[in-house]
Chain A
Amino acid sequence: MSTPAPDHPVPLDSASGEPLHPAAREVLDAALSRGWADPRRLHRSGRDARLLLDNARAVLAEALDCRSDEVVLCSSGTDAVHRGLLGLARSRRRHGTAIVCSAVEHSAVRHAARWLGEERAVGVDRHGRVNVDAFLAAGQAPGVAVAALQHANHEVGTVQPVEALEPLRAAGVPVLVDACASAGRLPLPADGWSALAASAHKWGGPAGVGVLVVRRSARWEQPFPGDDRADHRETGFENVPAALAAAAALRAVLDERETEAARQRRLVDRVRAAAAALPDTEVVGDPDDRLPHLVTFSCLYVNGEAIVTELDRRGFGVASGSACTASTLEPSHVLAAMGALTHGNVRLSVGRDTTEADVEAFCAVLPEVVASLRADL
């Protein structure tokens, strides 16, 4: 990966998934041998598994700056969002079933809101940042069960004003924060929320582990059929080795966060400059107050599927929010809500394995790729 040849694949889509962090791989191997048993059993293997599970919870709690008994292990980031949102909502069912959220939330939030009752989306500015006054007003309107706001946007990187939502929580409206895109990459908001969801595979942990933090002060009731596990909010047999590996990855990532975030920000700045220099191209999202590792841009007159395919042919793996790359013909609701151009869209995200040479190679081919696709039209 350090010296990208033209035929050497360069994944630039860490926001979709990162390879397992070396620290996680090591822990996972050991935990698979020791942590396979049912952590509720009193025999030796059960006690071993329980020890590892408690350890995973303690490490996650320390990394997320919360208490161990606030950590709920889930089966994905989506599960954490659903469990958090619907559990907070269940304790508010006398008030109503409306969910207030930004218009640029991840589909996990929007699907849960619609499944529960009514989604009340609050508009965003050109950078994708929610209007705080409108959000606070919508959150305190009648019928609202929960307000949900992402910490940072998963497609354009813009950081949301989560801490400004403290008045909602003070008024008794629980706030769910979706931190799936930001956990391990930005310091998490200290205040303003009742529950927070994160996803391990986005910080270099294994897939299949989500983390939900439910503040002790928050009221949460099981929204699904319950179970009899180590934690009453969890259901199903715990994946102890994966939870421990996720915790090890998060600790390792946080140990190097500041240096790595600064490095990734420089790489992304380089791509932002290269994209902004292209004719008829707009770089989307807040230029400064954003996630360090991703950038989104849209090129006029370019087909989104074609640019993804052509970059892939040249060895660069990127994502896109254009309609032609989705299973429906609808473009990204994030880009649409921002009033951004939805076609010719590229989302590029760097990871801990991405080198400066990778990014320079990408910046070198980008103008030619865009020009050739425009010439084809």
Chain B
Amino acid sequence: MSGDDRPVGPVDLELDCRTMLCPQPVIELARHVGDVAVGGVIAVLATDPAARYDVPAWCRMREQEYAGADELGDGVTRYRVRRLA
């Protein structure tokens, strides 16, 4: 499920969900995943601790590919998702 060991490809769209609490970052992700082409990568910047579990869980439930996380400092994490469908 996790694509952490793959090379980090370009991010096609980045959503700024810092300071948003759960489930808002995942709602934004679901709203905008269609904005990237199939095979493209959408990223979510989040500070909410639940995003660490809920972004991968969303990918599993919605049959998208979780492509790993990057720690950006100051409690901000960037979660990457590859659109599969």
Contacts and interface: CB of A to CB of B under 8 A. Distances in A.
Contacts of A377: 23, 27
A343 B49 contact: no
Contacts of A343: 22-23, 26, 50, 54
B61 A300 contact: yes
B68 interface: no
Interface residues of A, number: 23
Contacts of A331: 22, 49-50, 53-54
A329 B50 CA distance: 8
A329 B21 contact: yes
B32 interface: no
Most A CB atoms within 10 A — which of B26, B53, B61, B62? Answer: B53
Interface in B5-25: 21-23
A196 interface: no
Contacts of B50: 322-323, 329-331, 342-343
Given A323-B22, A324-B21, A324-B22, A300 B49 contact: no
Interface in A321-339: 322-324, 329-331, 335-336, 339
A342 B21 contact: no
B57 interface: yes
Nearest to A328: B49
A301 interface: yes
Given A280-B61, A300-B58, A300-B61, A339 B53 contact: yes
Nearest to B21: A324
Nearest to B52: A336
Interface residues of B, number: 18
A344 interface: yes
A302 B53 contact: no
Contact of A322 (B22, B30, B60): B22
Contacts of A322: 22, 50
Given A301-B23, A343-B22, A323 B49 contact: yes
B26 A342 contact: no
> How would you classify the secondary structure of chain A's contact residues: helix, strand, loop or mixed?
loop
A304 B26 CA distance: 14
B54 A341 contact: yes
Contacts of A301: 23, 26-27, 30
A282 B61 contact: yes
Contacts of B48: 323, 329
Contacts of B27: 301, 377
Contacts of A341: 53-54, 57-58, 61
Contacts of A298: 57
A303 interface: yes
A329 B49 contact: yes
Interface centre among A304, A331, A339 (most CB of B within 10 A): A331
A339 B55 CA distance: 10
Contacts of B57: 298, 339-342
Contacts of A303: 22-23
A301 B61 CA distance: 12
Closest 10 CB pairs of A and B: A343-B23, A341-B57, A343-B22, A323-B50, A331-B50, A336-B53, A342-B53, A342-B50, A301-B27, A330-B49
Given A280-B61, A298-B57, A377-B23, 14 more contacts: A280-B62, A300-B23, A301-B27, A303-B23, A322-B50, A323-B21, A323-B22, A323-B48, A324-B22, A329-B21, A336-B53, A339-B60, A343-B50, A344-B23
Interface of B: 21-23, 26-27, 30, 48-50, 52-54, 56-58, 60-62
19 contacts: A300-B58, A300-B62, A303-B22, A304-B22, A323-B21, A323-B48, A323-B50, A324-B21, A331-B22, A336-B52, A339-B53, A339-B60, A340-B53, A340-B57, A341-B58, A342-B53, A342-B57, A343-B22, A377-B23
